[in-house]
């Protein structure tokens, strides 16, 4: 198979660095170029990757490399629609970050652009390429615990806003400035916008869709950011499965400008744990474990050192396969729309204090 000529745009998203190794190593890819959004991310990129042409402008890059077949939109949420249009004009396939947009009019426009131009637009929900998730799906399919009755999951991390500033700006993260609820000084765009995975995974694991959602926002553990960082979500799927989801930024961090060793204040920077309670029993899973532990440099703090972060290999393999063999991505814009609608319902529930029916 001919290697896919791929590029990256913006390089401002927290997942940008996850692609470096895969784009260099995957024999199905030919990494052509990148376009950086500002000098800060340009410097970080040039310090990490050698030999890939780096441009200050997206159009300059696309003009200089008409051979580009696909682009990873490693950008803030508010840039996605504009960049999708730019790619679509040139017939370039798209790998979008996990939140294409929270604005549903923009979302519908994205679907229209992609369909009209016959493009592959895959959404980066990398948990589907995690081996623990693969085992969970297998256990569910084999009937190990029977029909699922409740799905309880965490997708909790430290806050990335100090390194990836746009995630702390409501207009860039959520798409506009919307108060989280009356009488509250915070705005939409925080932890929830960073953590769609468990909202997506419950749909895959139950084969059902959201019926009702209730959510509460808790006092921030970072009082100096203007978005929510702690929230809790419960609800029911159309098949009766109840759920409890925690998409918080509940792990405290050092305020590093570039993520690296010593980022953690709490020993563990990230967790995706899922508990499925079924007719015949319970399955508990830690999607990123077991790990190793140290209390070495730079802060001598006890720290969880992860041992597995290879989700981007499978994700890119699927992306190439989708383009070369004209397949629809597992996580495509249409599928993902209901996940985004559910996440918007979380904000609506917080704002109204009521359960939201979907």
Chain positions contacting another protein, by CB under 8 A: 145, 149-150, 152, 212, 214-223, 230-232, 234-236, 240-244, 246, 248, 250-252, 266-268, 273, 275, 277-278, 281-282, 284, 286, 289-291, 293, 302, 304, 353-355
- Which CB sits closer to another protein, 43 or 279? 279
Identify whether the C-beta of residue 172 lies closer than 8 Å to the C-beta of residue 166. yes
- Which CB sits closer to another protein, 20 or 214? 214
Task: Give Cβ neighbours of residue 317 (< 8 Å, ≥ 6 apart).
Answer: 26, 28
- Which CB sits closer to another protein, 75 or 220? 220
Identify whether the C-beta of residue 211 lies closer than 8 Å to the C-beta of residue 234. no
Minimum Å gap between C-beta 236 and another protein is 5
Q: Which of 208, 212, 178 is nearest to 192 (CA)?
A: 178
Minimum Å gap between C-beta 260 and another protein is 20
Minimum Å gap between C-beta 291 and another protein is 6
* List of E strands, the chain: 4-10, 29-36, 54-55, 70-73, 93-96, 121-123, 148-157, 210-217, 231-237, 242-246, 270-278, 281-286, 292-294, 303-305, 356-357
- Which CB sits closer to another protein, 242 or 256? 242
Question: 145: which DSSP letter?
Answer: T
Strand-pair partners of 34: 8, 54
- Which CB sits closer to another protein, 10 or 220? 220
Minimum Å gap between C-beta 129 and another protein is 22
3-state secondary structure of 323: helix
Minimum Å gap between C-beta 162 and another protein is 16
């Amino acid at each position: 198979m001919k290697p896919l000529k791929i590029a990256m745009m913006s390089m401002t998203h927290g997942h940008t660095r996850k692609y470096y190794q895969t784009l260099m190593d995957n024999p199905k890819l030919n990494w052509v170029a990148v376009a950086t959004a500002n000098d800060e991310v340009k410097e970080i990129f040039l310090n990490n990757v050698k030999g890939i042409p780096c441009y200050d402008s997206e159009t300059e890059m696309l003009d200089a490399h008409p051979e580009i077949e696909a682009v990873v939109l490693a950008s803030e949420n508010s840039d996605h629609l504009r960049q999708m249009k730019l790619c679509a004009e040139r017939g370039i396939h798209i790998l979008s970050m996990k939140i294409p947009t929270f604005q549903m009019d923009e979302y519908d426009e994205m679907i229209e652009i992609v369909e009209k131009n016959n493009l592959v637009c895959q959404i980066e929900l990398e948990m589907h390429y995690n081996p623990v998730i693969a085992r969970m799906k297998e256990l569910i399919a084999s009937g190990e615990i029977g029909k699922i009755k409740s799905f309880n999951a965490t997708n909790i991390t430290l806050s990335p806003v100090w390194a990836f500033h746009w995630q702390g700006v409501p207009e860039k993260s959520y798409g506009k400035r919307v108060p989280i609820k009356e009488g509250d000084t915070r705005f939409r765009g925080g932890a929830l916008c960073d953590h769609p995975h468990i909202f997506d995974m419950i749909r895959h694991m139950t084969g059902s869709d959201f019926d009702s959602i209730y959510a509460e926002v808790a006092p921030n553990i970072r009082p100096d950011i203007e978005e929510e960082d702690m929230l809790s979500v419960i609800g029911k799927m159309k098949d009766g499965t109840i759920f409890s989801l925690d998409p918080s930024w509940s792990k405290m961090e050092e305020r590093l400008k570039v993520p690296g060793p010593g980022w953690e204040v709490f020993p563990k920077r990230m967790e995706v744990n899922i508990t499925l309670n079924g007719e015949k029993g319970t399955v508990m899973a830690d999607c990123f474990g077991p790990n190793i532990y140290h209390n070495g440099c730079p802060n001598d703090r006890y720290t969880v050192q992860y041992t597995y972060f290879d989700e981007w290999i499978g994700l890119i393999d699927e992306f190439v396969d989708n383009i070369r063999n004209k397949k629809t991505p597992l996580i495509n814009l249409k599928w993902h729309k209901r996940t985004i609608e559910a996440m918007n319902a979380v904000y609506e529930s917080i704002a109204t204090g009521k359960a939201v029916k979907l």
